[in-house]
A and B are shown apart, each in its own frame.
Chain A
Amino acid sequence: MSLKALAASAGFLFALLSGVVAGAEEFNIFLKTTPRIELLRPFADPATLSLLVTRADGRPVAQGKVAIVIDAPKPGNFMSTDFPLVEGSRLLELVLPLRRGRAEWKYLFPIRGTYRLSVNFVAADGQGTFKDFPISVLEKRQKWLWLGLFCAGLFLIGFIAGRIFTTPARGGMKAALLALSLAVVGSVDGHDPPSPTQAVSNPQSALEIDGAAVGMLTTLRWRPTDTPVVNRQLSLTIIHLEKRKTMFAVDRVAVASEFDLKFHYPDGAEYRVNAVAEAPGQAPVRAEQLVAVTGIEPAMMAQISALSFFLAVIALGLAAGRLSFRYRHRC
């Protein structure tokens, strides 16, 4: 091949590739959380998550929608969280339309760890982009404090027992003290018994919620039963009744026909789902449904790891008590 032909081929290829790149528009997706990610805590207050989709020049996209997926943190190697069935599972799937390039919803993160928020943006002309956001949620300090105090108590019990067992028993007083120290007193506040799922008021629109159980996504569907309205806006809230916390909420989302949501209820308790549909010139239409989520016992392995840890703390206390007793009697 001559040099001229080679140069012409290279030029043609360059022009072709330049055209393809120019045709595929670039989008940017930005995430903002309120409060900031560093301040998020599990089962505290719901976080407001906002997505902003812009074009390459920084202007928000006019139309489009985002498919949102939230995956829970992966299980730890040894210790589990207090909701082991949530670990490594999918927590949320929904599609939100963009309003001036933005989509916003509220979500309460149930456990500590690094979540993965996947956003798939599709513009009105079919172009799109995909982005993953890691969201790290730290455990509440208060819980670590309680765990530390509990372990200190177990260590003390082991320490006292270690000293008693090292010396010949000298009467009932020490045994009585030991028995007393073994007594565990907990605060009294449990679950209320769940009631079956029931629609409280559902006159004009329908909320359909599949049977909910911990460890799986549950489909929630809202669809109007009255005449179709183009500019309908839907507000939907999922509330944990026992803890009185909002688990998920969207506010005034434009809905053409129906709204689908897949939500993972993190614990076996009772939830209330509220939906309010508003349309211009019409009275708001409300729907409400109670959901009793079936709880599932965690795997024995997750429980054994925690119990083994606590027993190890007691054994450490036993050894420390024995060493302390022998050291004192040597001196």
Chain B
Amino acid sequence: MERTLVTWLGFSLSERLSFLIKSGVFLSICGATLFVALASSYPAVHDTLHNVRHALAVVPCH
């Protein structure tokens, strides 16, 4: 996928910059996943993971 993008855009990224971009995207996805799982108030998610939130000791719940 990275090679495709490089071919398509016509420039190459340094390995360090590539790592930073990939890590940034990865952390964003992880942050969104954690937010939905541990902080969202959507009833289906909240009720399913209610005990998990309390079991972790530092995740606030109502």
Contact = CB atoms under 8 A, between A and B. Distances in A.
A79 B27 contact: no
Nearest to B20: A165
A161 interface: yes
B48 A85 contact: no
A255 interface: no
Contacts of B1: 169
B50 A189 contact: yes
B55 to A, nearest CB: 5
Contacts of A83: 60-61
Interface string B29-54: 11101110111010000111111111
Q: Which of A182, A295, A297 has the most CB of B within 10 A?
A: A297
A214 interface: yes
A114 interface: no
Interface stretch (A56-64, A115-123, A203-211, A300-308): A300-308
Interface stretch (A29-37, A91-99, A314-322): A314-322
Interface string A148-176: 00100010010001100110110000000
A218 B49 CA distance: 28
A182 B29 CA distance: 10
A219 interface: no
Contacts of A161: 23, 26
**What 10 pairs between A and B have smallest CB-CB spacing?**
A190-B47, A295-B62, A298-B60, A143-B57, A186-B52, A303-B39, A84-B60, A302-B60, A165-B22, A186-B49
Contacts of B34: 307, 310-311
A307 B62 contact: no
19 contacts: A82-B58, A82-B59, A82-B60, A112-B57, A140-B57, A143-B55, A144-B57, A150-B56, A161-B23, A166-B15, A182-B29, A184-B33, A184-B37, A186-B48, A186-B52, A298-B60, A303-B59, A307-B35, A310-B38
Interface of A: 79-85, 112, 139-140, 142-144, 146-147, 150, 154, 157, 161-162, 165-166, 168-169, 182, 184, 186-191, 214, 267-268, 295-299, 302-303, 306-307, 309-311, 314-315, 318, 322
Contacts of B46: 190
A81 B57 contact: yes
Contacts of A146: 55-57
A85 B58 contact: no
A162 B23 contact: yes
Contacts of B33: 182, 184
Contacts of A84: 60
Nearest to B46: A190
A33 to B, nearest CB: 22
Contacts of A307: 31, 34-35, 38-39
Contact of A318 (B26, B41, B49): B26
Contacts of A187: 51-52
A235 B46 CA distance: 36
Contacts of B61: 82-83, 267, 298
